[in-house]
A and B are shown apart, each in its own frame.
Chain A
Amino acid sequence: DADVTQTPRNRITKTGKRIMLECSQTKGHDRMYWYRQDPGLGLQLIYYSFDVKDINKGEISDGYSVSRQAQAKFSLSLESAIPNQTALYFCATKVRVTNTEAFFGQGTRLTVV
């Protein structure tokens, strides 16, 4: 099983619908992140969390919310999806030590029609 698991892997939803993307990890890391990848733009930070009670906005948080249900689970919600939120979404985890790598899930491709 993957260390960082994202569900669903692919999703098509309609404009205005609420949708939740889920992320769970078995690595025991305290830090979790949600990134969005758009063609030609690289990955941008949406939200991050250092523990269950510590959640912070990233560069592009408008239109998104998150929930850290447990150390191992970090969900991203789109309250009312719009077409320009069509993108590839990644969850990532890392330990507190700065120079260690981030571990990524396999991504969720979200299409808003």
Chain B
Amino acid sequence: AQTVTQSQPEMSVQEAETVTLSCTYDTSENNYYLFWYKQPPSRQMILVIRQEAYKQQNATENRFSVNFQKAAKSFSLKISDSQLGDTAMYFCAFTFRTGANNLFFGTGTRLTVIP
């Protein structure tokens, strides 16, 4: 079975500070892709960052970066210089290169940025 675990149901961070959201996953497959999605109060699911499992270099998108540890099956998200607009639910997810190509999601971390 494919599982994604986000052990922090809720987190908060002061504006302009840095926060790290944790994610671990379990799969026996070797070829997969990892994602972080953001869901603000508007309900829209927005891609934050993606990582190919075969790449050792950690992905970065502006203030967002990941720490990908393939052997440990860990994929954490770091948000630097947190902004009020970062307040949202964050979901970790992965998909395989073959098959249904659907996303397997974690249970989410609700992040609140405090002014």
Q: Does B96 contact A (CB under 8 A)?
A: yes
Considering residues A90, A96, A99, which has the most beta carbons from chain B within 10 angstroms of its beta carbon? A99
User: Which residue from A31, A92, A99 sits with its C-beta under 8 Å from B50?
Assistant: A99
Across the interface, which residues of A come within 8 angstroms of B43, CB to CB? 88, 106-107, 109
Which residues of B are found within 8 Å of A56, using beta-carbon distances? 100
B residues less than 8 Å from A113 (CB atoms): none
Are A42 and B4 in contact, with the CB atoms below 8 A?
yes
What residues on B are CB-neighbors of A31 within 8 Å? 101
Contacts of A99 in B (CB 8 A): 33, 50, 52
B91, CB-defined interface residue at 8 Å:
yes
Smallest Cβ-Cβ distance to B54: which chain A residue: A99
Closest to B33 in A: A99
The interface residues of chain A lying within 8 Å CB-to-CB of B108 are: 42
CB-nearest residue of chain A relative to B46? A104
Q: Which applies to chain B's interface (DSSP): helix, strand, loop or mixed?
A: loop
CB neighbours (8 Å) of B50 from chain A are: 99, 101
Chain B positions within 8 Å of A12 at CB level: none
User: A102: CB under 8 A from chain B?
Assistant: yes
Set of chain A residues within 8 Å of B47, measured between Cβ atoms: 101-102
CA distance A94 to B35 in the complex (A): 14
Least CB separation from A58: chain B residue: B102
Residues of B within 8 A of A106 (CB): 42-44
- A48 close to B (CB within 8 Å): yes
A43 contact set on B, CB distance < 8 A: 91, 93, 103, 105
CA–CA, A48 to B95, complex, Å? 14
* B87 to A: closest C-beta gap in Å: 18
B interface list, Cβ under 8 A from A = 4, 9, 33, 35, 42-45, 47, 50, 52, 91, 93, 95-98, 100-103, 105-108
Q: Please list the residues of chain A having a beta carbon within 8 angstroms of any beta carbon in chain B.
A: 31, 33, 35, 40-45, 48, 56, 58, 88, 90, 92, 94, 96, 98-99, 101-102, 104, 106-107, 109
